[in-house]
Amino acid sequence: MLSAVNSAFANDEAEVASASESESSAHEEASDDDYVDAVENKTRKRAAPGYYAERKVQKGRPAAKKPKTVSAAVENRIHSNVSIRQNIAQSHIRRDAWLWHHRDLFLPLLPVEKNFFRHIDGGSMLKPVPYDLVQQPEGVKGEMKDYQLRGLSYLVMLHRNGMNGILGDEMGLGKTLQTLSLFSYVREQGSKGPFLVLCPLSVLSSWENEVARWVPHLSCMVLHGTMAERERLMHVYTQNRPDILITTYEQYVLQAFFFKQITWLYVVLDEGHKIKNEKTQVSIALRGLSSQYRLLLTGTPLQNNLHELWALLHWLFPEVFTPVTVSKFDEAFDLTKGVYDLSALGHSRALLEKIMLRRMKAQVDFQIPPKEEIVLYVPLSPMQRFWYKRLLTGLDTMTLRDIFPDTTDVKPEDTNGPVTAYSHDAEKNGFGETKAIIEHSMKTFSAGNGADWKRLMNVVMQLRKCCNHPYTLPESEPEPFVSGEHLVLASSKMVLLDKLLKHLRAGGHRTLIFSGFTGTLDILEDFMIYRGVSYCRLDGSTSRPRRTLDIRLFNHKESPYEIFLISTRAGGLGINLTSADTVIFYDSDWNPQSDIQALARAHRIGQTKPVTVYRLVCQDTVEEQMLGRLQKKLYLSAKVTEDMADHTVDDSAEPSFSKGELMSMLRRGARAVTKFDDSDKFLNSTIEHILETSRVKQVQVDAEMDVEPEDDFVLEGMEQVKSRLFEGVTVKKGTTSAKAIGREWQEMAKRVREERTVMIDGHAVMKNTVGLDDWEACATLSKGHVVPPKRRKRVYAHETCCQKCAAQLPDKVRLECRLCPRSYHAKCAGPQLAVFSKMHGFKCPQHQCKECHKDTASAGGLLFRCQSCPNTYCETCTQWDDIVPIGDVLPELLMLDFTKVTQAFYIRCPSCVTRLKEKPELAAEQERKTEQAWKDLEESDAKAAIEAAKPPVVEADANKKKRPVKARKVGRVRKAKA
């Protein structure tokens, strides 16, 4: 015992020995116990606070620094993390019990020799908590529907069993409300959270609004913005600790380290199929995120194959569905390899019925108007046939007789000049312009190296672009590009769309047009401008405030928009466009669920009119072949997830998807439809005739047929899209190698839709040579890269009256904004005067939100500026029900040469609306001034257009050319008030 003590306290041995000697003088014989007591006393002194610091000071060494105090916010976070981690251990016990009880559903999908259940002792397992109908939480405002209460009860059952799960209700049934009611229930049971919600950008504002509407007692915060804004919001969250934190997938990836510092009670993935690929950045960033429960919200849990289902299960149950378990899912259903296993589909369905609640609109007795789907098959136009065959064969030249049968070729002298102005004869023959453009393209290619057009990376992708519009391909559209009928006649789809929109607009229908190609959306924009159709556009580059604004304007009763151009992937999630009753799919997505989600923007709860869906398909091309593959993917989804048994309802009936309906789904893509043999017949057909002949009803097979042998028949073989199959004939491959084509495609610069020439005296002249002196050098592209031009500062005049008090401003006392034409008195500028500097100038109050003081970048790239006063609001602070939207431009600013900017949308603020209501004479005067400003603007633009059309004036004395008079930008379209 003494040896152990001496070895443990060797540093204090000398001091203890001296103490023992002094004591021995008084007490001749000291016992071992006395020695031990002395050591323990010294130990207690050493453990006392400040002992070592005092010893260092006594020895002349500086004392150690005091430890930094931990902030209250950090202490709260640590305390919350510890509390939730303790609860995680308890929930894992209940989760293991539930998994063991339902192991028969998991084992068929796991390897036999090594799986999760081999390491569990089921003898001492608890019994799972059964499903029980719960009451609506007191914190939920409003009244939940019966099926939503059953959905909440199902989520509570999963919560009581420590289980993760999927809420897979069809789009529009209120998954958001059911999730928020679960948060409220958990909070009333004593758990404080926190809750994390990841969602697409399109529904970010919707989540925030739903929280304020249904569960106002739960504090909520949205984390989204620039880097500086995110830093500020993360600091605010750390200090305030709101109950719910909402962000997007992209913002989560950027700040994953911050989110992983917190242990969450619930992590909810809205549109959870975002993680269907476990190798994406989002899926990788979600690994290691600590939470007690995980919940997926998705209306399309299965889209392409069973590997996607495994990815979802891997995130929900990583200890069960480990990476070694993926092989069974890959072998169960693969269209590319022609592999399918119907028993595996059945096992997958049985498992999903336990861990996922999925209800369809028909199951909850929702009275949603019906929808009618019509597939419109169109032949390729002459120009599309030309490019389609050229992409397949690699031929350098083709005769126009191959493209235009029974017609004469265009004479060579007809195509010597640029194809810009078209003759009167072209109006008589609808394809005259197209013939000239094709011939001009052929001459251009033959004059070059003979292979300039062969810039391909993906043949199928290029063929799909050709089916949409040949102008999406490089070197296909005329240079310089001038809008004309050739824009319509070049594509049969555009011809059909032109006829269809005339029919729809005459009937007062609002239309959504979906396309998966942004280049196609660009051409559709050109078409809308050419036809004078009011439209708005949403794609991946559209900012969050602009999305919210356009959706609100489109859904308004007096909307200024007739058409909404939408990217299928970017606009197919979480937005409500029930004001539209017509949906046009200009092209189909490889993933059929993407089209279904896009369709649900209009056909959803809240729709009061029947919805008509048109799908445009070029016959005898890769697009028609795609339909067969898409139908088999739909079959997979229907076989596994559609019409699943609802365990929240006492109903013993079998799923209502009949065998005949499944068979019909597979045969639908190959059914016989009325097609056009040639483009002339199609061009001369009326839209009424086209629609009537295309309404082919789906022929349902005999319901008594045994479907299993038929499944073997329709699923066997490899389902591939053969790019070289054209009009039933396999086109032979050209001589150009795929490697050479790919190399040329990669070296090709991205096509820019810009006019590089101007017409002077009937001749096309390069813009950069106009106005040069004789023998003056001109910059050319002599290097391998293009040096981008410097940005020029916008040139515009400033207003002469104060934006706030409307008084005239002398030049000496006028404060001019450096970013817009607004002007102010110094006394009217308010706090913004403090940011004035000689170097940067003055920035007026209309460049930051009045309420939260966010600048344009922090507000998402768009601010809502009042027309009549300095008031400006961001998307969050805008009182949408109290404002009057005006438009992207103001006539008084256009007169000052200040055109549309993407950072501003003009409104009439609530205070101005109230003031004009109280003074009707003032409102009438402002309306009169606005109308007069538009008239003056139109007259000014007309004069500028006339001046721009005049030939350049030559100075005789100096023998120099003057630059042509430039008009201000023409084509300003006044937007009607919404």
Q: What's residue 41's pLDDT?
A: 63
Asked if residue 45 and residue 82 are part of one domain, the reply reads: no
pLDDT above 60: residue 950: yes
Cα→Cα distances 500→351, 376, 507, 580, Å: 45, 11, 11, 15
Q: Are 544 and 552 in contact (CB under 8 A)?
A: no
Q: What's residue 77's pLDDT?
A: 79
Q: What's residue 815's pLDDT?
A: 87
Asked if residue 190 and residue 298 are part of one domain, the reply reads: yes
pLDDT above 60: residue 656: no
Would you say residue 804 lies in a domain?
no
Q: What's residue 252's pLDDT?
A: 96
Tell me which residue of 552, 474, 453, 553 sits closest to 519, measured CA to CA: 474
Q: How far apart are CA 25 and CA 734, in angstroms?
A: 113
Q: How far apart are CA 900 and CA 823, in angstroms?
A: 18
Which helix (H) or strand (E) element contains residue 210? helix 204-214
pLDDT above 60: residue 248: yes
Q: Are strands 611-618 and 371-378 parallel, antiparallel or unpaired?
A: parallel
The contacts of residue 571 (CB under 8 Å, 6+ apart) are 202, 514, 538, 539, 598, 601
Asked if residue 467 and residue 520 are part of one domain, the reply reads: yes
Asked if residue 166 and residue 32 are part of one domain, the reply reads: no
Q: How far apart are CA 51 and CA 45, in angstroms?
A: 7
Q: What is the DSSP string of 232-247?
A: HHHHHHHHH--SEEEE
Q: What is the DSSP string of 878-936?
A: --TTT-EEEES--HHHHTTT----TTEEEEE-HHHHHHHHH-HHHHHHHHHHHHHHHHH
pLDDT above 80: residue 601: yes
Residue 325, domain CATH: 3.40.50.10810
User: End-to-end CA distance of the chain, in Å?
Assistant: 92
Tell me which residue of 235, 275, 236 sits closest to 253, measured CA to CA: 275
Asked if residue 78 and residue 54 are part of one domain, the reply reads: no
Higher-confidence residue: 873 or 65?
Answer: 873
Asked if residue 702 and residue 843 are part of one domain, the reply reads: no
Asked if residue 176 and residue 102 are part of one domain, the reply reads: yes
pLDDT above 70: residue 635: no
Higher-confidence residue: 62 or 274?
Answer: 274
pLDDT above 60: residue 739: no
Would you say residue 790 lies in a domain?
no
Reduce the DSSP state of residue 132 to 3 states and report it: coil
Asked if residue 933 and residue 896 are part of one domain, the reply reads: yes
Percent residues over pLDDT 90 in the chain: 29
Question: Quick count: other Cβ atoms within 10 Å of Cβ 25?
Answer: 7
Q: How far apart are CA 250 and CA 460, in angstroms?
A: 30
Q: Are 318 and 326 in contact (CB under 8 A)?
A: no
Q: What's residue 791's pLDDT?
A: 53
Q: Are 265 and 190 in contact (CB under 8 A)?
A: no
Token pair 């092989």 in the structure block, residue: 327
Q: What's residue 640's pLDDT?
A: 62
pLDDT above 50: residue 761: yes
Asked if residue 300 and residue 391 are part of one domain, the reply reads: no
Would you say residue 758 lies in a domain?
no
Count CA atoms within 13 Å of residue 329 on its CB side. Answer: 24
Residue 34, domain extent: 2-58
Edge to edge, the sheet with strand 884-887 lists 872-873, 863-866, 904-908, 884-887
Asked if residue 105 and residue 37 are part of one domain, the reply reads: no
Residue 435, domain CATH: 3.40.50.300
Task: Output b/e per residue, 46-82; b: 16+ Cβ within 10 A.
Answer: eeeeeeeeeeeeeeeeeeeeeeeeeeeeeeebeebee
Would you say residue 776 lies in a domain?
no
Q: Are 183 and 193 in contact (CB under 8 A)?
A: yes
pLDDT above 80: residue 904: yes
Q: Are 378 and 493 in contact (CB under 8 A)?
A: yes
Average pLDDT over residues 541-561: 89
Q: What's residue 38's pLDDT?
A: 59
Token pair 């997958």 in the structure block, residue: 348
Q: What's residue 567's pLDDT?
A: 92
Predicted confidence (pLDDT) per residue in 286-318, tens digit: 998 999 999 999 877 776 678 888 999 999 999
Predicted confidence (pLDDT) per residue in 168-213, tens digit: 888 778 899 999 999 999 999 988 889 999 999 888 888 998 999 9
Average pLDDT over residues 620-635: 71
Would you say residue 287 lies in a domain?
yes
Q: How far apart are CA 597 and CA 574, in angstroms?
A: 9
Higher-confidence residue: 83 or 785?
Answer: 83
Q: How far apart are CA 764 and CA 805, in angstroms?
A: 51
To 5 degrees, how large is the angle CA 645–CA 356–CA 280?
A: 140
Question: Quick count: other Cβ atoms within 10 Å of Cβ 162?
Answer: 22
Average pLDDT over residues 861-888: 91
Would you say residue 97 lies in a domain?
yes
Q: What's residue 42's pLDDT?
A: 58
Higher-confidence residue: 711 or 760?
Answer: 760
Predicted confidence (pLDDT) per residue in 58-116, tens digit: 555 555 555 556 677 777 778 778 888 888 888 888 999 999 999 999 998 898 888 88
What are 731's two structure tokens? 């086109």
Predicted confidence (pLDDT) per residue in 213-241, tens digit: 999 999 999 999 889 889 999 999 999 99
Q: Provide the mean pLDDT of the chain.
A: 74
Could you say which of 680, 711, 730 is where a domain stops? 730
Asked if residue 508 and residue 458 are part of one domain, the reply reads: yes
Would you say residue 759 lies in a domain?
no
Asked if residue 141 and residue 15 are part of one domain, the reply reads: no
Average pLDDT over residues 25-45: 52
Could you say which of 730, 759, 784 is where a domain stops? 730
Q: What's residue 651's pLDDT?
A: 45
Q: How far apart are CA 170 and CA 358, in angstroms?
A: 7
pLDDT above 90: residue 502: yes
Token pair 């830093």 in the structure block, residue: 231
Tell me which residue of 697, 714, 692, 696 sits closest to 705, measured CA to CA: 714
Q: How far apart are CA 934 and CA 942, in angstroms?
A: 12
Q: How far apart are CA 222 and CA 934, in angstroms?
A: 40
What are 516's two structure tokens? 């998966």
To 5 degrees, how large is the angle CA 366–CA 372–CA 373?
A: 125
Higher-confidence residue: 939 or 475?
Answer: 939
Predicted confidence (pLDDT) per residue in 115-139, tens digit: 888 877 766 678 899 999 999 999 9
Q: What's residue 307's pLDDT?
A: 86
The alpha carbon of residue 364 and the mean position of all alpha carbons in its chain are separated, in whole angstroms, by 29
Tally of domains in the chain: 4
Q: What's residue 756's pLDDT?
A: 56
Cβ-count burial of 510 within 10 angstroms (0-12 exposed, 13-18 middle, 19+ buried)? buried
Higher-confidence residue: 337 or 300?
Answer: 300
Q: How far apart are CA 667 and CA 685, in angstroms?
A: 28
pTM, two decimal places: 0.67
Question: Quick one: pLDDT band at residue 256, thresholds 50, 70, 90?
Answer: very high
Rama region for 169: left / alpha / beta (φ>0; ψ in -120 to 50; rest) = beta
Q: What's residue 833's pLDDT?
A: 63
Could you say which of 691, 710, 730 is where a domain stops? 730
Which helix (H) or strand (E) element contains residue 926? helix 920-949
The alpha carbon of residue 690 and the mean position of all alpha carbons in its chain are separated, in whole angstroms, by 34
Cα→Cα distances 747→463, 495, 884, Å: 20, 33, 49
Among the ranges given (152-161, 291-300, 383-392), the one the predictor scored with the smallest mean pLDDT:
383-392
Count CA atoms within 13 Å of residue 104 on its CB side. Answer: 1
Would you say residue 745 lies in a domain?
no
Q: What's residue 8's pLDDT?
A: 40
